[in-house]
Chains A and B, each alone.
Chain A
Amino acid sequence: MKLVIENLSKSFENKEVLRDINFIFEDGRIYGLLGRNGSGKTTLFNCLNRDIKVNSGSFYLDVNGQRREVTPLDIGYVLSTPTVPEFLTGREFLKFFLDINEDSINEIKPIDKYFDLMSIEPDDRDKLLKDYSDGMKNKMQMLINIIAQPNILLLDEPLTSLDVVVAEEMKQLLRTLKDDRITIFSTHIMDLALDLCDVIVLLSHGDLEIVAKENMDSQEFKKRILAALREDGHE
């Protein structure tokens, strides 16, 4: 499976944020999307998630050579600020989600199994989500997004608000989830990207570009990424 982006452009008023992007993301890999502040990472995600209209270009899924549209159900989008419906408990949110998606989810497990997967404590499962900490909200959001097993998982700065233990758990989880799906992970933290991601992609000058690691050690690689990012933003 491939996510193919062709000639994608997006501008706000006169500012061109994404410029004629052509890129192919492949399944089984975690892509680390690096870019400077304001480089358009979130804009790219919003375009893929169809939250905003693109000015031109298109993107589609290529499944064994068959081309098809990306549907909302193909995408799981985990936002940097965790958002969960505050008036439900964790268990209720999960039940609601499983209820309405029962046709599309293979092998629905008992609800507690899902909580176990995310190591959400039994005491917390029946609390209102408004009383969850940010880290726990983040886990819930991630959980909902992975149960549906989307073909494309977009993660916008997802680990920044988590404590080190939870962040490590999440990283581990993402690694186990990467097979059969395209994971795109945007972050500002280079070490995190290097640690977790298989491919580093820079978003600079409105275009996507892979930084080839070749035989560099990680210090050299970092220098190269920094150099590439520095060029951006001072046009």
Chain B
Amino acid sequence: MNKTLRMSFSLKNTYRVNSILYSIKQIPLIKKLLPATLYSVHGLKVFANIISVFWEIISGLLGKLLYILLMVVVTGGLYEAAPKDRLFVHMLLFLSIIGAINNTYMFNPTRDKYYAMFLMRMDAKEYTLINYGYAMLKMFVGFLIFGVIFGIGAGVPLLICILFPFFVAGLKMTVAAYSLQKYKKKGISIKENTLGKPGWVLIILLLAAAYGLPAAGFVLPLSVAVVFMLLTVLASVPSFLKILSFKSYREVYQDILNQFLNQIDAAKKVKRNMHDKNISADTKISSGKSGFEYLNELFIKRHQNILWKSTKKITLVCLCLILGALLAFYLLPEIKDKTNELLLTYLPYMVIVMYAINRGTGFTTALFMNCDHSLLTYSFYKQPKFILKLFQIRLREIMKVNLLPAMVIGIGLALLLYFSGGTDNALNYLVLIMSVPALSVFFSVHYLTIYYLLQPYNMGTEMKSATYQIVHTITYVVCLNIIRFKMMTIVFGLTTITFCVLYCIVASVLVYKFAPKTFRLRV
């Protein structure tokens, strides 16, 4: 038992330490400083171990902290009428049932389990029980600490707060024991993290009970909740014994991990298939063009699903929203003033909207996975004049795809401005109509440019460039933070348009100068 305990922890830790070292190795600049033999450097290992232990504690505690804080305390604050203590218990009780159904801790298919039980042939029962016990312990401690802190904050008696971790553990054990029983009796395989339809219905009902009932004015009395919790704890005793005495853990895991490993082994295949699926099998698709225009037209037509079809859907939704807003002006004239004010001060929000509806990333991923991944292995395709020619064609195409919804939104916003009372400065209309398409052009240029400058994938379609991911993350963070600027539409709009024009010029220059060298497969 003791040995299994030590080994399973050391295995999990090694796995995590190596993952940490691997991630450090992916950071640009830093990776140049690190030796190739990184995994055997003692100092680095110690460092990674510290992070690993730290992470273990944080993930256990922080998870529970955020869970209770967000799902119960903050959300609970929205219900002003309900008594705070009863509401806290009510919500946590129903959410815990969902958690128990959703995640028993026992059947999570993870790699370390596969390594331990199958590659290293450790005793499946011992290993499972130890890991399960440890996961339950972490949960228990987290619930005890934050349940008590927030519970007392809400005015719940201390004893009830202390009862909670026992209740959650009992519930989880009962669900796990039930699954084991089902497996033993009927051979029904256990699936964690994948709920069937009845499971989802149940969860929706429980969510409704957790959040809907209090809104309707019903909150469980404390006495009922306590009785329910105590009964659950009592009922969990046989479940506990069942879990301890169950013999076929190896079999169960064989089954669970098989499903999971098929995914790992076939991960690349699945990824491939996912991209293959984007290719339309419509045999009527053809093109009358020649050369690169021919290649491009076939690409666009065979990827309708992720390009035009999806952009048309987005456009339709935008159109409906705008028409809906116009209708609302007619029905509720009092919202006009507020809307007018919003339109003249909240243009920055459009950045995140345009970020969200842009097809640029989908386009570049499909370009690589279904086209460049293979063609870049041919010398003819890598000639600088061809790379630039195709860049122009692709840029034109993705701009067209993105401009459709952008034009609708731009004109729509101008219409909304006009019908919500108009503005003294007619330039505002022009700015609205121009700045949204300008943003759209910016995103189109941006994604295609960084794709051409950083081409991040290798032959095996693995992402090899951390810089590429960092640029993507920065793009997201910047877009998210622009929301915070409260600026007159006219100022923000003109700035945006100027920025987009400048960006396009700089990007084109960079692509023309560097893409012939950078646009190739990573080795």
Contacts and interface: CB of A to CB of B under 8 A. Distances in A.
Interface of A: 12-15, 46, 49, 51-52, 72-77, 79, 81, 83-88, 92, 95-97, 99-101, 126, 128, 130, 144-145, 148, 150
Contact of A79 (B298, B382, B459): B459
Contact of A96 (B295, B377, B383): B295
Nearest to A43: B523
Contacts of B303: 87
Interface in B274-290: 275-276, 279, 281, 283, 290
B40 interface: no
A123 B383 CA distance: 33
A97 B275 CA distance: 23
Contacts of B374: 83-86
Contacts of B35: 13-14
A159 B371 CA distance: 24
Interface residues of B, dominant DSSP: helix
CB-CB nearest 7 A-B residue pairs: A83-B374, A72-B379, A13-B36, A99-B291, A87-B302, A87-B279, A99-B290
B346 interface: no
A63 to B, nearest CB: 18
A49 B379 contact: yes
A73 B370 contact: no
A73 B371 contact: no
Contact of A51 (B294, B373, B521): B521
Given A92-B298, A128-B281, A83 B377 contact: yes
B501 interface: no
B383 A73 contact: yes
Interface in B353-408: 370-371, 373-375, 377-380, 382-383, 386
A14 B298 contact: no
Given A13-B35, A73-B383, A144-B378, A86 B298 contact: no
Contacts of A72: 379-380, 382-383
A87 B523 CA distance: 24
Given A87-B303, A130-B276, A145-B378, A100 B281 contact: no
Nearest to B36: A13
Contacts of A13: 35-36
B380 A46 contact: no
Nearest to B293: A99
Given A86-B279, A95-B294, A130-B276, A46 B379 contact: no
A85 B279 contact: no
A14 B36 contact: yes
A88 B298 contact: yes
B299 interface: yes
A96 B291 contact: yes
13 contacts: A72-B380, A72-B383, A76-B379, A83-B374, A86-B276, A86-B279, A86-B370, A87-B370, A96-B291, A96-B294, A128-B279, A130-B279, A148-B380
A77 B377 contact: yes
A97 B380 contact: yes
Interface in B1-52: 35-36
B435 to A, nearest CB: 35
A128 B375 CA distance: 15
Contacts of B246: none
B273 to A, nearest CB: 9
B446 interface: no
A12 B298 contact: no
B330 interface: no
Nearest to A92: B298
Contacts of B379: 49, 72-77, 148, 150
Interface of B: 35-36, 275-276, 279, 281, 283, 290-292, 294-295, 298-299, 302-303, 370-371, 373-375, 377-380, 382-383, 386, 459, 520-521, 523
A30 B275 CA distance: 38
A72 B377 CA distance: 11
A144 B374 CA distance: 12
A74 B380 CA distance: 9
A81 B459 contact: yes
Nearest to B291: A99
A79 B377 contact: yes
A72 B517 CA distance: 12
B511 to A, nearest CB: 19
Contacts of A126: 283
A12 B279 CA distance: 38
A12 B386 CA distance: 31
Contact of B36 (A12, A46, A77, A84): A12
A126 B380 CA distance: 23
A150 B35 CA distance: 40
Contacts of B378: 77, 144-145
Kindly name the residue among B279, B281, B299 whose own CB sees the greatest number of chain A CB atoms within 10 A.
B279
A14 B375 CA distance: 32
A202 to B, nearest CB: 23
A88 B281 CA distance: 10
A87 B299 contact: yes
Given A84-B374, A85-B375, 7 more contacts: A51-B520, A73-B379, A79-B459, A83-B459, A86-B374, A87-B371, A92-B294
A148 B383 CA distance: 14
A25 B377 CA distance: 23
Kindly name the residue among A46, A49, A128 whose own CB sees the greatest number of chain B CB atoms within 10 A.
A128
Contacts of B383: 72-73
B294 A101 contact: no
Nearest to B290: A99
Contacts of B292: 100
A75 B381 CA distance: 12
A85 B521 contact: no
A77 B380 CA distance: 11
Nearest to A126: B283
Kindly name the residue among B279, B302, B374, B521 whose own CB sees the greatest number of chain A CB atoms within 10 A.
B374
A50 B34 CA distance: 26
A231 B463 CA distance: 36
